[in-house]
Amino acid sequence: MIVDLRSDTVTKPTPQMLDAMFSANVGDDVYEEDESVNALERKAAAMFGMDDALFCPSGTMTNQIAIKCHTAPMDEVICDESSHIYRYETGGIAFNSGASVKLLYGDRGRLTAEMIEKVINPDDVCMPHSKLIVLENTCNRGGGSYYDLDEIESIYHLARLKNCNLHLDGARLFNALVETGDSMERYGHFFDTISICLSKGLGAPVGSVLLGDIKTIRQARRIRKVFGGGMRQAGFLAAAGSYALDHHIDRLKTDHLHARLLGETLEKLSYADKVLPVDTNIVIVKLQDDVNADVYVERMRDNGILCSRFGEQLVRFVTHLDITPEMIDHTITVCKKLH
Ligand SMILES: *Cc1c(COP(=O)(O)O)cnc(C)c1O
């Protein structure tokens, strides 16, 4: 048995999802004539009470388009040091938007209005213009931590007061929502744009959606084209996304249960120094100093368990749609065996 816990991006479409894909009505989406893409965009926007949406090939693209929509060169983006937009988008903020970045060090990736307020620049020709605040929810490097919506509301009021735009990298937003039960409309109200990944825990093969108002999404559509992301009969992929929104949200709770079981096991093992609190579907374990993380990942692989080295002494496990209870039991057995 191979248990792939490297990422929740590794899922394959279920037979039902494949049926939905093969029976999709498609057209040319650059002409905005693909019914399945249009339906996905309408559905996602409506869920969050937002005006419009744009289907894109990746979450990197939806984030980068949003940053470009909200900033001009010489502006500054405020985000956490561990955030995907800063760490894992190949320096795209500078490359695509010519903007600088102000890094904050939040609590497991989470920022507060108080922290942000301190770094918003005054109107001074020597300083970049603080223009965009980006939050990530859930926070990947925070071990799947999620925000309290009251804090987001405070950040929203600060952003309005300071004339900053507010973008949410919600690659795993639904993992937060199934835990908190927070209202999607309130999220839609607080953020100027929201990026949602369909290809993570939701289990679609490809795609992300950017949500925003009509004007922003109109501009986002132009930017998607110049980034080379205008797709043609993309409805086959969008149909998988719509299927995922209809059928794969509630079941994320199962992934969270699996992650918690794994976290509870690792916590008790002598080679683990500590395990970050397991809030959603990500388990990050810090190994004892005398355990080599590369060797640990290799030994796990030799036992059929795939996980990722995630920095100095850190290893990450991510649960998802294709992980069964039997696979979690097997993983727990292997973890205990490796002493
Ligand atoms: C995966 C991910 C993205 C987008 O990744 P793509 O691989 O480009 O789809 C964005 N933000 C976070 C937090 C992610 O985990």
106 & 40 share domain:
yes
Give the number of the atom of ligand 1 that is nearest the alpha carbon of residue 61: 8
Q: What is the pTM of this model?
A: 0.98
Residue 294 has pLDDT above 80, yes or no: yes
CA-only gyration radius of the chain, Å = 20
Give the number of the atom of ligand 1 that is nearest the alpha carbon of residue 200: 1
Q: Which of 221, 247, 273 is the last residue of a domain?
A: 247
Instruction: Give me the pLDDT at residue 146, please.
Output: 98
The answer to whether 135 and 173 are in contact (CB under 8 A) is no
Tell me how far apart the alpha carbons of residues 91 and 305 are, in angstroms, rounded to a whole number: 32
Structural domains in the chain (count): 2
In the reported structure, the alpha carbon of residue 60 is separated from the centroid of ligand 1 by a whole-number distance in angstroms of 6
User: What is the SS3 assignment for 135?
Assistant: strand
Residue 53 has pLDDT above 80, yes or no: yes
- DSSP one-letter string for 72-134: -TTEEEEEETT-HHHHSSTTHHHHHH--EEEEE--BTTB--HHHHHHHPPPS-TTS-EEEEEE
Q: Does any domain span residue 9?
A: no
Q: Does any domain span residue 3?
A: no
All residues at 6 or more sequence positions from 258 whose CB lies less than 8 Å from its CB, including other chains: 281, 319, 323, 325, 328
Residue 339 has pLDDT above 80, yes or no: no
Instruction: Give me the pLDDT at residue 32, please.
Output: 98
Q: Does any domain span residue 8?
A: no
CB of residue 140 inside a 6 A radius of ligand 1:
yes
231 & 295 share domain:
no
Residue 278 has pLDDT above 90, yes or no: yes
Supply the range of the domain harboring residue 144.
15-247
Q: Which of 247, 262, 277 is the last residue of a domain?
A: 247
303 & 175 share domain:
no
CB of residue 82 inside a 6 A radius of ligand 1:
no
CB of residue 235 inside a 6 A radius of ligand 1:
no
159 & 294 share domain:
no
Judging by beta carbons within 10 Å of its beta carbon (0-12, 13-18, 19+), is residue 8 exposed, middle or buried? Answer: buried
Instruction: Give me the pLDDT at residue 288, please.
Output: 97
| CATH number of the domain within which 119 lies | 3.40.640.10
- pLDDT range class, residue 151, cuts 50, 70, 90: very high
265 & 119 share domain:
no
- pLDDT range class, residue 130, cuts 50, 70, 90: very high
Which of the listed residues 8, 64, 139, 169 should we mutate to test ligand 1's pocket, taking the one with most ligand atoms within 8 A of CB?
169
134 & 164 share domain:
yes
- pLDDT range class, residue 318, cuts 50, 70, 90: very high
In the reported structure, the alpha carbon of residue 216 is separated from the centroid of ligand 1 by a whole-number distance in angstroms of 21
Cβ atoms within 10 Å of 210's Cβ, excluding its own = 31
**What is the arrangement of strands in the sheet containing 52-56, beginning at the earlier edge strand?**
52-56, 208-212, 193-197, 165-170, 129-136, 75-80, 100-104
Q: Does any domain span residue 10?
A: no
In the reported structure, the alpha carbon of residue 318 is separated from the centroid of ligand 1 by a whole-number distance in angstroms of 14
The mean predicted confidence, pLDDT, of the chain is 98
The residue-averaged pLDDT of 323-332 equals: 98
pLDDT in tens, 247-264: 999 999 999 999 999 999
Q: Which of 247, 273, 305 is the last residue of a domain?
A: 247
Q: Which amino acid is at 160?
A: R
In the reported structure, the alpha carbon of residue 268 is separated from the centroid of ligand 1 by a whole-number distance in angstroms of 31
238 & 257 share domain:
no
138 & 280 share domain:
no
CB of residue 11 inside a 6 A radius of ligand 1:
no
Task: End-to-end CA distance of the chain: give it in Å, rounded.
Answer: 21
CB of residue 60 inside a 6 A radius of ligand 1:
yes
| CATH number of the domain within which 331 lies | 3.90.1150.10
Q: Does any domain span residue 1?
A: no
Tokens coding 147: 């925000």
The residue-averaged pLDDT of 122-132 equals: 97
pLDDT in tens, 8-51: 999 999 999 999 999 999 999 999 999 999 999 999 999 999 99
Instruction: Give me the pLDDT at residue 285, please.
Output: 98
Q: Which amino acid is at 194?
A: I
Tokens coding 44: 């996602």
Q: Does any domain span residue 2?
A: no
Q: Does any domain span residue 149?
A: yes
Provide the percentage of residues in the chain whose pLDDT is more than 90. 99
Omega before residue 138 within 30° of 0, cis:
yes
Instruction: Give me the pLDDT at residue 121, please.
Output: 98
Tell me how far apart the alpha carbons of residues 252 and 44 are, in angstroms, rounded to a whole number: 18
205 & 90 share domain:
yes
Q: Does any domain span residue 4?
A: no
Strands 305-306 vs 3-4: parallel, antiparallel or unpaired: parallel
